[in-house]
Copies of this chain bind each other. A is one copy, B any other.
Amino acid sequence: MDTQKPFVIGVDLGGTNTVFGIVDARGQMIAENSIKTQAYKTAEDFVEAGTLCLRPLIEQVGGIGNIAGMGIGAPNGNYYSGSIEFAPNLSWAHEGIVPLAQMFSDQLNGLPVRLTNDANAAAMGEMAYGAARGMKNFIVITLGTGVGSGIVINGQLVYGHDGFAGELGHVTMVRGEKGRTCGCGRKGCLEAYCSATGVARTAREILANTDRPSLLRNKPADQLESFDVSIAASKGDEVANEIFQFTGKMLGEACADFAAFSSPEAFIFFGGLCKAGDLIMKPIEEAYNQHVMPIFKGKAKFLISGLMNANAAVLGASALGWGE
């Protein structure tokens, strides 16, 4: 860590907003601002707008000479190349490879800029400032629109041979034709069951296939969201609780397989679904300990992100700015 340069820039590049933050060594956000991600036609226009947004923040901490580096968390971000590659939900990046790290570096006096995908950025954040402080082996699982993951082994993010490792949302949980179709084009992926859309789909299936009473019937089925399930479950709704049981069981069984791979100290869950607390975490941990190899039983911790209320994605990305 360059103590001569006490700040880093963190960037959370999301489908709607891109948030820029200046962060100090203790993980305090000193200044932040944002732009609309998709308001630009080209990557060049986006980088120009981002740089304009950043300049006053940088001046606020005494100029670029006080900044050690910049980290960006972005969908389909490749750490090795510093590029966003074929990101389906970004209008200016869905058809090709955008060397975003280099483009920002060119605009910012050659500042070192690193880029990774959003789940990896979350894992960096947990390690630097969150629930994984002091851990060398853990897995962050992000439960959002999709299911993402950031895997840390021996204190290092796992990027794999091509920079795309850590796609645990796409291990196959239900094999063969029975498996739900996943956004990746295959069938039976963990994401198809445990993402927000997967949870909503589970709700619709149970409501359609039974006539059990449920608070979830108060809303048209095609408008149900995972958030509705959380609210209903917190009110003691049985069907909603069963949906969490089902979702947690599948996550726990998946984690049992992940343990056979890297035997982590902890699984850390991040995202809206975790706000349900024990309603989702208990079924996960129970299914894990029921299905994992005896040698691993009872060893792993199951934690909720330590950064859920902070601007976690910016903090996580900023950790890359220290050059780790």
Contact = CB atoms under 8 A, between A and B. Distances in A.
Interface stretch (A18-26, A170-178, A218-226): A170-178
Contacts of A153: 153-154, 156, 158, 160
Interface stretch (A3-11, A208-216, A253-261): A253-261
21 contacts: A137-B160, A151-B262, A153-B154, A154-B154, A154-B156, A158-B261, A158-B262, A160-B263, A161-B265, A161-B299, A162-B263, A163-B263, A164-B263, A164-B295, A164-B296, A165-B260, A165-B262, A165-B263, A166-B261, A167-B263, A184-B294
Interface in A115-172: 136-137, 151, 153-154, 156, 158-168, 170-172
Contact of A291 (B151, B160, B161, B172): B172
A199 to B, nearest CB: 20
A170 B299 contact: no
Given A186-B291, A258-B261, A161 B137 contact: yes
* This chain: copies in complex: 2
A293 B172 contact: no
Nearest to A256: B172
Nearest to A175: B253
Interface of A: 136-137, 151, 153-154, 156, 158-168, 170-175, 184-186, 253, 256-258, 260-265, 291, 293-296, 299-300
Given A153-B153, A158-B153, A184-B294, A261 B165 contact: yes
Given A184-B293, A186-B291, A294-B185, A260 B168 contact: yes
Nearest to A172: B257
A261 B168 contact: yes
- Top 6 closest A-B pairs, CB basis? A160-B263, A165-B263, A161-B265, A167-B260, A171-B257, A137-B161
A162 B261 contact: no
